[in-house]
């Protein structure tokens, strides 16, 4: 079902599409498309994007779901950290987009997952489900808990045989959360719609604990701190997100310094919410952007070829079996190498 919204305006003289872009944390192009398609109403009537809003004006509508893209399975190696009959946990490499887009129609995590699970490009879009066990190291934790931890070279994954490439298929990917293209680490993938719905509910209720590792510019004054600040579209640079004085959506991230190195620090980040670019935006707002972050950083191009941010651990109660699951992905080589070059012993 599409997400619905009801907003009472607190501003005057601003275009409707600009106002909703800030409030809903969507691009102005997306909002204009929603308005043009009749998904936005003021006083029960369909309106134009150029409408100037007034105080106390009631705006309601729906954010329509994206139409599933036509996708082709691609035999791209995956680093599988955990797998059962309901879901996968994958260690995403740097520079791999998660979802296809106009600029990245192939080579994405979704394309790789389709091949891994045995989807084919036949007319019905489905092939046999592969009963494949990931190669991540497994150890039994506390009673009722399963802990999976990948190590260098320990979780290479097992590819499905190359699927027939007779044409694109139409499926809705079972990926319930996102990682930025340059971010590495653990990402969950549901194998069926029911599991996807249950996992999505866990994320929505904030019952999934996510732990990240990052290398940031400079040295924070405190060893531990929390950033609370609404995040929305940057008022000028629309491709960026920003901490806003008003508008946006609530966001909270806790941070802890793990090591202080030459000119930078190695930190742990635990986002309580899941806003776009949340960790990167909160760190930049604090004056300590992620090393290598060209969008929010200061010394990005000189220091690293990507944002040195890694989704290190994810913990949750399995949505079907209810067993406690913890999945970890070892910090990648480029981050370890960077820290050694900055005085790590």
Locus of tokens 């950033």: 227
Let me know if residue 135 belongs to a domain.
Answer: yes
Output DSSP code: residue 335: H
213 and 290 assigned to the same domain: yes
DSSP lists the bridge partners of residue 311 as 185, 212
| CATH number of domain containing 261 | 3.30.2350.10
| CATH number of domain containing 24 | 3.10.290.10
Cα angle for residues 152, 281, 178 (degrees, 5° grid): 50
Domain-ending residue, one of 26, 45, 63: 63
82 and 153 assigned to the same domain: yes
Say what the pLDDT of residue 233 is.
84
Low-confidence ranges of the chain (pLDDT < 70): 1-2, 66-70, 102-104, 120-173, 300-301, 345
Kindly state the helix (H) or strand (E) to which residue 209 belongs, with its residue range. strand 209-217
Say what the pLDDT of residue 187 is.
96
* Predicted structure pTM score: 0.72
Let me know if residue 230 belongs to a domain.
Answer: yes
> Under a CB-based contact definition with an 8 Å cutoff, are residues 82 and 148 in contact?
yes
Say what the pLDDT of residue 70 is.
63
Q: Is residue 3 flagged as an active site residue?
A: no
Phi, psi of 41 (to 5 degrees): -135, 145
Say what the pLDDT of residue 344 is.
76
Let me know if residue 338 belongs to a domain.
Answer: no
Best CA proximity match to 225, nearest among 234, 233, 216: 216
176 and 231 assigned to the same domain: no
247 and 263 assigned to the same domain: yes
Q: Checking DSSP bridges between strand 209-217 and strand 264-271, what pairing results, if any?
A: antiparallel
233 and 316 assigned to the same domain: yes
Let me know if residue 342 belongs to a domain.
Answer: no
42 and 78 assigned to the same domain: no
90 and 50 assigned to the same domain: no
Say what the pLDDT of residue 167 is.
46
200 and 263 assigned to the same domain: no
Let me know if residue 227 belongs to a domain.
Answer: yes
Say what the pLDDT of residue 15 is.
93
Say what the pLDDT of residue 103 is.
66
19 and 127 assigned to the same domain: no
Domain-ending residue, one of 63, 96, 114: 63
Let me know if residue 155 belongs to a domain.
Answer: yes
Q: pLDDT, tens digit, for every residue of 264-295? A: 999 999 999 999 999 999 999 999 999 999 99
Q: pLDDT, tens digit, for every residue of 137-163? A: 332 232 233 444 443 333 323 333 333
77 and 199 assigned to the same domain: yes
Say what the pLDDT of residue 119 is.
75
130 and 218 assigned to the same domain: no
Cα angle for residues 309, 315, 320 (degrees, 5° grid): 135
Domain-ending residue, one of 166, 183, 204: 204
Let me know if residue 330 belongs to a domain.
Answer: no
Let me know if residue 159 belongs to a domain.
Answer: yes
Locus of tokens 């909270």: 252
Q: pLDDT, tens digit, for every residue of 108-118? A: 999 899 889 88
Number of structural domains, the chain? 3
Q: Which domain holds residue 101?
A: 70-204
216 and 294 assigned to the same domain: yes
Catalytic residue among 180, 207, 293, 334: 180
């Amino acid at each position: 079902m599409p997400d619905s919204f009801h907003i009472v305006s607190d501003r005057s003289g601003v275009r409707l599409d600009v106002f909703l872009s800030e409030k809903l944390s969507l691009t102005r192009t997306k909002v204009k498309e929603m308005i043009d398609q009749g998904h936005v109403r003021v006083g029960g009537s369909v309106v134009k994007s150029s409408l100037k809003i007034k105080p106390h004006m009631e705006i309601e509508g729906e954010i329509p779901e994206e139409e599933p893209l036509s996708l082709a399975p691609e035999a791209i190696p995956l680093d599988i950290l955990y797998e059962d009959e309901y879901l996968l946990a994958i260690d995403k490499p740097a520079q791999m987009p998660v979802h296809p887009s106009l600029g990245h129609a192939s080579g994405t995590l979704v394309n790789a997952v389709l091949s891994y699970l045995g989807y084919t490009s036949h007319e019905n879009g489905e092939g046999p489900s592969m009963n494949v066990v990931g190669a991540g190291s497994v150890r039994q934790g506390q009673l009722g808990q399963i802990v999976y931890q990948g190590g260098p070279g320990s979780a290479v994954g097992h590819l499905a045989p190359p699927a027939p490439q007779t044409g694109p298929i139409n499926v809705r990917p079972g990926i319930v959360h996102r990682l930025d293209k340059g971010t590495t680490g653990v990402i969950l993938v549901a194998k069926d719609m029911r599991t996807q719905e249950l996992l999505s509910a866990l994320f929505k209720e904030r019952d999934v604990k996510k732990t990240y590792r990052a290398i940031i510019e400079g040295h924070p004054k405190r060893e531990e701190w929390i950033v609370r600040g609404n995040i929305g579209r940057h008022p000028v640079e629309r491709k960026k997100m920003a901490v806003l004085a008003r508008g946006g959506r609530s966001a909270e991230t806790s941070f802890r310094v793990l090591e202080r190195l030459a000119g930078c620090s190695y930190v742990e980040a635990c986002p309580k919410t899941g806003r776009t670019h949340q960790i990167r935006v909160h760190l930049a707002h604090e004056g300590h952007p992620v090393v290598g972050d060209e969008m929010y950083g200061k010394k990005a191009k000189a220091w690293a070829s990507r944002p040195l941010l890694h989704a290190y651990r994810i913990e949750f109660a399995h949505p079907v079996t209810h067993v406690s699951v913890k999945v970890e992905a070892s910090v990648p080589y480029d981050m370890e190498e960077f820290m050694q070059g900055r005085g790590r012993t």
